[in-house]
Chain A
Amino acid sequence: MEFALVVTEGPFTRQSSATACRFARAAIARGHRVWRVFFFHDGVGNASRHIEPPGREHNAAGEWSALAREHGVDLVLCVTAAQRRGICAEALAPGFRIGGLGQMVEASIRCDRTLVFGG
């Protein structure tokens, strides 16, 4: 089965991003494909390469980057949501790219299931 994920919460205050990333790994481990993860609303904050949690705390951007590197998952930010929150292309961690809401709709049209994490 092909999945599209939508992450709508930021990297730290809520658990949504970490849950989404773990869901993606679990789905891939069971033979499914995560075709695209779209970051919308405050979810765009997960893409910042400046995230530096102390110690061994959850590093949202680092874990998403690893997922993209290991499994070729497409990580796309809503450009308007990103601009509103000061996330520019130069601030992105590896594996993320800036896109548009059309890519969220495209992913939902293509994939068998769309899951929203957050809200």
Chain B
Amino acid sequence: MINTGWGEKPKSNQYFYTNLVKRQGILLILLLLISFGTSCRRRNNQISIDFPVSGSGVGYASRFTIDVNDSYTRLEIIEPWQGADGVRHVYFLLKEGAILTDSLQSNAIIINVPLKSIVCMSATHVAMISALGMEETIKGVSGIKLIANPSVHNLVKTGLIMEVGYEESLNREAILKMNPDLFMAYGVGSESAGYLAKLGELGIKIMLNAEYLELDPLGKAEWIKVFGALYCLEDKADSIFRAESLRYENVKEIVEASSLPRPKVLLGLPWKDSWYISPGNSYISQLIEDAGGDYLWKESRSQTSMPLSLENVYIKGLNAGFWLNPGSARSLDDIEITDRRLSNLPAFKEGNVYNNTKLLTETGANEYWEKGSTCPGLILKDIALILHPELFPGDTLMYYIKLNRK
């Protein structure tokens, strides 16, 4: 299941390899020529250690900072997993031709950019790379079934992208063989835990993407700047992000200007006795707030979703006019099957239950999650449209769907 066809893949990999070696050979010659040509200038170009530590170039995101220099970019990823207090990963993105002093090399990871090959573990990484138009650099993904992006699917079909598995069932040998410029993962525990340590030992450069931990929707979207730096497409990334933040702020302003009453919103679906509730300091809570809703648990603070008792959520849910993201439910009947008592909630009775499953594919991929990271403005617009349809006359939902009886 995890090892997708050792038999057929090596051919294309080998082709890719010889090609890479050739290309690298040419590159090396070019590099030598450039370094000869610039050898007198190089001394001035050498990087000093006292760089600015401020988070220049970052507005909404709280989990990374980027500092751009002439020949290199310093990227710092802050607390890349839940509970990684004070942990900082520093990367120096080295553009072709630039050379770092030894003193810096010892305490940071150096990545040569632009990236020519990458393996990424999350559909949101794929979405951002795709937004920059660099899909062809993706050599391996994790969970192809859960990726909605059609151009990536085409590359998988032609054998240019390989499924590498996930976590403990990661196909390490295949990744070693690919030898990507960067292996982008997301941190769910300490870096030493499990599968990453081994890959790092084997010389694969690893970056823990903390985009999923951003609490601000635009903070998530701003991670495209990290990819911009990795592909030397900073301007493109900046303009994509600027357009997206404009779209987001625009919807937010329309809602704020209307000063309509804020309907209360319930989220999620219980499993057995417990109802895992997203806290008030979460991404979805922020979206509801900005879309002119009043999330029932907006006051709560927690690092993870909180297991609350069913009766507790039920009694609060009696006040909610809207119910969003009810787990895997595709219809009102699905909710009723989960727990018949839930059909007494007013949002259910009035049919104000919406799930983000409009674009859910047969295999379980959902563009909602991918767009949620690159285009939060579109998601915000959907939620605002659900809560205040009168503000957006004539518009239709893109990612959400109203649940009906079967």
Q: Do A and B bind each other?
A: no
A: residues with CB less than 8 A from B are none
B: residues with CB less than 8 A from A are none
